[in-house]
Amino acid sequence: MPQRKKLFITPTLATVIGSFVLITAAAILLIQAVTSQKIVRQLGGELVDLGLESAQTAFVEQLHAVTETGEYTKRAWQEGELAFDGPDVLVSYLFGALAPTEQVSFLVLVDETGKGVDVDRGDADGELLGGDVDLAADIPELLPLTEKAAAGPEPFWSDALFMQERDHSYFVYVQPLHEDGEYRGSLLIGMSLDRMSEITWFISTDEMSVFLMKEGGHEIIAHQDLHEKFDHLSVETPLLHVSQVSDGFLAAFEDMKKLENIAFDIAEGLDLHSGQDENGNKRFVVLEQQNENLKGLPARIGVHFPAGYLDQPLEELMVAIIVGTGLLLMSLFGAAFLARRIARPVQRASIAAIQVANLNLNDVEPLPGSVIRELDDLSGGFNSMVSGLKAFSRYVPRTLVQKLLREGRADAPPEAREVAVLFTDIAGFTSASEGMSATQTADFVNHHMSLLGAEITRQDGTIDKYIGDSVMAFWGAPEHLDNPAEPAAHAALGMARAIHADNQARIGRGEAPVRIRIGIHAGPLVVGDIGAPERVNYTVIGDTVNAASRLESLGKEIDGAAEVIILASEEITRRLGPDIELQPIGPQRVKGKAEPLRVARLVV
């Protein structure tokens, strides 16, 4: 079965925690952004619609007075209350009709011949002027309107007319007067650009400017600053082009960028433009495409205002999105930091656990404590475990434990192996130790065993046991070796060099040198767990162990005064390489062996 891919804890925790944070925060941010943007668009659209509706209402109210005057005059004439043969009555009527309608400049009531009466608002002093009028002679510009009125009974608005005698442009509302299908006259109600511009001035504010633009064109009908350009009006140009108005921002209307209505939820019947004023400030223009509520007046209402009216909510929304994104990134960094803080003790424990599994206990760093209770418990328990293993490893062969760990077993059943066994002993230790205290004796033995044990470990041997001042070690178990004699011999030679160096130091301190004997033998043994079920030792048993011990004792007879004497059986020497020098001794009888052993001395 293929091995499952392993994951690292830090990126895994960071990814999992970060993903939850990202999904949750992003979902909230997205919902808020979409909802807020929709609300902002709706508010922006409603703001524009409300502004235009207010401007439209103001104009419609003024125009309603005009159209109502026309309708009332028509009914009064049809009911005989007005007649062209009573000019004084007509003048009085027109005076009464003009007085309350401040937006109206003049009223003219003529018969089918173009003769009748008119009332004019006059100069700015408020005095009304009235009298007889003959359109052909007095106001010829109005004659074409009466001719159009003769064609049908429906009222209508004229295009802009420049009246030379008044030196101004007007829009005229015409109410035809018909009787039994016959044209009998007309009521003409004139509104000057000046009066219409007053309406825009009244409903405009410091930041929001309302204007009227000709339907289907870019000529300005009304604007709060249009009076500054009235001297440019003429018969040829009854209306000024938008580029001619004093409003520097609006004058650049044709160069402005047209925007999509959906950006601010603007109604389809409106055009949205943006540009910059002379100070570099962004402004919006909203202009009707047409207006059916102006009673036929060929005009459309427009308004321009600072971009902040619409952009500021969106800018605030963008700021909120940026801040939210920043907080989201901080949350992700926080998640990564938290994951790292959580994972770091686990990683340390993982690295330490690998060292423990390899029995490199001296390389294991103690795990630090943690503010997280479970991690703190993990650190404390792990450190206690390592301390226990360090103590325990002093009693159990390291190679054995490594082998059991690799094989996943908790025991080592006895088995037959070809093993090399080494015995050491200190010559004259009993008499030497009589002059030592217990502490001095323990220090001496521990130091001596450390020297010998280091050489055994260096050659991958297994220390079976310490017997007083003696050491028993073996090679070939628990790890199988094809030639266990070679490392055993090298370990013995290493011991000799270590003892010699240590003796030099002892002599320098005025202490007596140490002399040791070493015996090495190889042969078949039973190796494994030996002992009662509740307590076992991993050891070797058999005649090979006894032979190695006897060879160590034989050294006393061969050269009792030697600093180090190493005796090895033929089972050892015949497996050694040429790098190890041998001194044959010949067959030797040892206790417990019926046949003599062929012995050689390893030259130190």
* pLDDT tens-digit map of 393-406: 666 666 656 655 55
Residue 522 has what pLDDT?
Answer: 94
454 and 473 Cβ atoms separated by less than 8 Å:
no
User: pLDDT band at 430, cuts 50/70/90?
Assistant: confident
Residues 482-505 as b/e (b if ≥16 CB within 10 A, e otherwise) read eebbbbbbbbbbbbbebbeeebee
Residue 428 has what pLDDT?
Answer: 81
376 and 348 Cβ atoms separated by less than 8 Å:
no
pLDDT, mean of residues 332-346: 68
Residue 418 has what pLDDT?
Answer: 93
286 and 278 Cβ atoms separated by less than 8 Å:
no
User: pLDDT band at 485, cuts 50/70/90?
Assistant: very high
Q: What is the mean pLDDT of the chain?
A: 82
* Residue, of 532 and 319, whose pLDDT is higher: 532
User: pLDDT band at 270, cuts 50/70/90?
Assistant: confident
* pLDDT tens-digit map of 66-119: 889 889 999 988 888 888 888 888 888 888 888 888 888 899 999 999 999 999
pLDDT, mean of residues 572-587: 93
* Residue 279 confidence (pLDDT) above 90: no
* Residue, of 44 and 71, whose pLDDT is higher: 71
Find the range with the poorest average confidence among 28-32, 128-132, 221-225, 456-460. Answer: 28-32
* Residue 408 confidence (pLDDT) above 60: no
Three-state DSSP class for 144? helix
Residue 27 has what pLDDT?
Answer: 65
For the chain, give the percent of residues with pLDDT over 70. 78
Find the range with the poorest average confidence among 31-40, 259-268, 526-535. Answer: 31-40
Count of residues making up the chain = 604
Residue 168 has what pLDDT?
Answer: 92
pLDDT, mean of residues 281-287: 88
* Residue, of 557 and 39, whose pLDDT is higher: 557
pLDDT, mean of residues 537-551: 88
The highest-confidence range among 39-43, 73-77, 518-522, by mean pLDDT, is 518-522
Please, is 511 exposed, middle or buried when counting C-beta atoms within 10 Å of its C-beta (0-12, 13-18, 19+)? Answer: exposed
552 and 423 Cβ atoms separated by less than 8 Å:
yes
Q: What is the pTM of this model?
A: 0.52
Element (H, E) at 240: strand 240-241
The highest-confidence range among 191-205, 255-269, 306-320, 493-507, by mean pLDDT, is 493-507
* Residue 273 confidence (pLDDT) above 60: yes
pLDDT, mean of residues 42-48: 55
Find the range with the poorest average confidence among 311-315, 368-372, 596-600. Answer: 311-315
pLDDT, mean of residues 536-553: 87
Q: What is the DSSP string of 264-320?
A: TT--TTEEEEEEE-TTS-EEEEEEES--GGGTT-SEEEEEEEETHHHHHHHHHHHHH
* pLDDT tens-digit map of 131-172: 899 999 899 999 999 999 999 899 999 999 999 888 999 999
pLDDT, mean of residues 226-245: 92
d(CA 484, CA 476): 5
Residue 86 has what pLDDT?
Answer: 82
Residue 1 has what pLDDT?
Answer: 45
CA distances from 43 to 47, 91, 186, 189, 313 (A): 6, 51, 47, 40, 9
* pLDDT tens-digit map of 365-380: 787 777 777 667 777 7
* Residue, of 262 and 283, whose pLDDT is higher: 283
Tokens of 110: 């003529």
Residue 102 has what pLDDT?
Answer: 82
Longest C-alpha distance within the chain, in Å? 173
Residue 308 has what pLDDT?
Answer: 75
Residue 236 has what pLDDT?
Answer: 93
* Residue 570 confidence (pLDDT) above 90: yes
